[in-house]
Structure 1
Amino acid sequence: MVKVGEYNTLSVIRMVDFGLFLDDGKEGILLPKRFVPAGVKVGDELRVFVYHDSEDRIIATTQDPLGVVGDIIALKAVSTTNQGAFLDWGLMKDIFVPKSKQLGTMRVGGIYVVHIYIDEQTGRVTATEKVESMLSNDVLELKEKDAVKLLVYRRTDIGYLCIINGKHTGVLHFSDIYQNIQVGDQLNGYIRKIREENKIDLALGERGYQRIGGEAGKIMELLDSNGGFLPYHDKSDPEDIYDNLGMSKKAFKMAIGNLFKQKLIRIKDNGIEKV
């Protein structure tokens, strides 16, 4: 059974001047000539994406859309009408967002986070801005320190609300952001903390010392091997720091400053302590 809005592997049943037809158990689905790979013959199987063209016919393409049915992605609006807006999703025909499925007025050039679905009335691939009902933290498939894929959803008073792996939500706090980001950005991150009621705090990059690297990573490893405490601070003797940590005092101060900003250590009067 052919699934509209998804990838399908279909057999070539006949060749024509303007393309070829793929087996759908009926009359066949057209793959236009411009998308036919070289050397294809009757009987071959092709992996294609299936959707409706501008004339409402089911058609196949070897192009890759930016998302398939079920995905939550960020897309750019390229045109608007009284009925809705069209977003570029990587195919010749743009995807439609009805007015009733918009949270506000979509404008050309704007980036919008949408969910791709099949409209029950038309059977066409459609998009909606109303994505929050598809997201839940009630049952988490995650734990602290897990690496995750993030989609920046919207700005809040404390940071950016992000969609995690297309299923959950979490907050990337302003204090943990060290780069310019905006709604629609896709980022690599990890779960910093899971709070009460499964509220999630996020961080960017890779977790642990691989993410930190360099002298800062070395300090974190030494903290781990010394019970979470090192008796060195910004007023320690440079020779003591070099003899025991193998780095200059300047490098040490820069590293602990970085770790402190990331809330990985506390700087005390008698040394540094792992959080």
Structure 2
Amino acid sequence: MDPEKKLQAGNVVTLRAVRSSELGVFLDAGTGKTSEDILLHKAQQTREIAIGDEVAVYLYLDPKDRLTASMNLPKMQEGQIARVKVINTTRDGAFVDIGAERGVFLPFAEMRGSVKTGETIWAKLYRDKSGRMAVSMDVDAEMQRVAKPAEGVKVGDEVTASIYNMSEFGAFLLTKERWLAFLHNDEMTSRPKVGEELTVRVTFVREDGRINVSMRPVKENAMDLDSAKLLDAMAARGRMPYTDETSPEIIKAKFGISKAAFKRALGRLMKEGKVEQKDGWTQLCNQESQQ
């Protein structure tokens, strides 16, 4: 084992299996004391481990504060950022899933807005004053480091981005291409939350490589026109073999609109009770489909 690496909760280390028990195998802690060897329980093994095997493990504290190992490695390590799912909330904060054996604490003071169970947020993994791993939603500095200047994009293009921070003026997003984007309050059609993923339209490409985006269609009546196209496609048979699962390429070829515009129009028609999706088809409501 690398002597520079400390055996403490939150670290990913490679240790050697030195003995077995009914519970699992014990890993050499390198102290010379068998009482300090670290248990890798059978339930935390992703494959069968033999004595002498070198195993990459994530270290965490069990309910009795004993250092324990798991082969379920986290998707982020100390100092890194990632989109993580909130698994439950408490009076003092929340716990998020980083892909490790146990959830990691998100203190209330490190939140950006409120979070709810099941939501996905941007978070940074860090070690608190007590040495335990925790996460923070304060990721602005990290976003600046990982972002790239926008290239090959023009006004009117659609991009998919997730919100990592909000201000009184609007939302800050990171696109899937790792471009930084800003969504002004005036360009919102509804109030999104931190962590939410949006499909937005580029309205301005700045000299510094960042982009401004909008949730609004190019024309206010765009959704009306798109909805009419979908209804026309169902006029003859009462249904069509296109749903929100249909590929963007097919949607573009059939209707001449983007997948996002198709989903917006379809969503409106479903909300109005005019159409429904069933068995891979979109059909008019309260009408027998003709075969």
What range describes the TM-score normalised by the shorter chain of this pair? 0.5 to 0.7
Match of 1:197 in 2: 208
Percent sequence identity is 24
Match of 1:96 in 2: 105
1:62 Cα offset (Å): 1.9
One-letter amino acid matched to 2:96: D
Matches within 5 A, 1:38-53: 38-53=47-62
Aligned length: 213
1:86 Cα offset (Å): 3.1
The 8 Å contact of residues 150 and 211 in structure 2, kept in 1 or not, is answered as no
Match of 1:232 in 2: none
1:145 Cα offset (Å): 3.4
The 8 Å contact of residues 81 and 122 in structure 2, kept in 1 or not, is answered as no
Q: 1:22 to 1:185 in 2, by over 3 A?
A: farther
The 8 Å contact of residues 26 and 38 in structure 2, kept in 1 or not, is answered as yes
1:95 Cα offset (Å): 1.1
* Cα-Cα RMSD: 4.7
The 8 Å contact of residues 104 and 134 in structure 2, kept in 1 or not, is answered as yes
Match of 1:60 in 2: 69
TM-score normalised to the size of structure 1?
Answer: 0.56
1:215 Cα offset (Å): 10
Match of 1:134 in 2: 142
1:59 Cα offset (Å): 2.0
In the alignment, structure 1 segments of 5+ residues that lack a partner are 204-210, 218-250, 262-275
Q: 1:202 to 1:40 in 2, by over 3 A?
A: farther
Match of 1:144 in 2: 151
TM-score normalised to the size of structure 2?
Answer: 0.53
**Aligned equivalents of 2:71 and 2:199: distance in 1?**
28
Match of 2:25 in 1: 20
The 8 Å contact of residues 9 and 48 in structure 1, kept in 2 or not, is answered as yes
One-letter amino acid matched to 2:137: E
Secondary structure at the aligned position of 1:86 is classed as strand
Match of 1:161 in 2: 172
The 8 Å contact of residues 54 and 93 in structure 1, kept in 2 or not, is answered as no
Match of 1:11 in 2: 16
1:53 Cα offset (Å): 3.0
**Aligned equivalents of 1:158 and 1:102: distance in 2?**
19
Match of 2:41 in 1: 32
**Aligned equivalents of 2:176 and 2:258: distance in 1?**
28
**Aligned equivalents of 1:95 and 1:59: distance in 2?**
15
1:61 Cα offset (Å): 0.9
Match of 1:85 in 2: 93
Q: 1:99 to 1:182 in 2, by over 3 A?
A: closer
Q: Deviations over 1:162-216 (max 9, x none)?
A: 2357976324789x99xxx865356899x9974133423579xxxxxxx974696
One-letter amino acid matched to 1:42: I
Q: 1:71 to 1:62 in 2, by over 3 A?
A: same
Given candidates 123, 126, 134, the residue that maps to 1:114 is: 123
Match of 1:248 in 2: none
Match of 2:83 in 1: 73
The 8 Å contact of residues 23 and 29 in structure 1, kept in 2 or not, is answered as yes
Match of 1:244 in 2: none
**Aligned equivalents of 1:188 and 1:66: distance in 2?**
25
Secondary structure at the aligned position of 1:163 is classed as strand
In the alignment, structure 2 segments of 5+ residues that lack a partner are 154-158, 215-246, 262-291
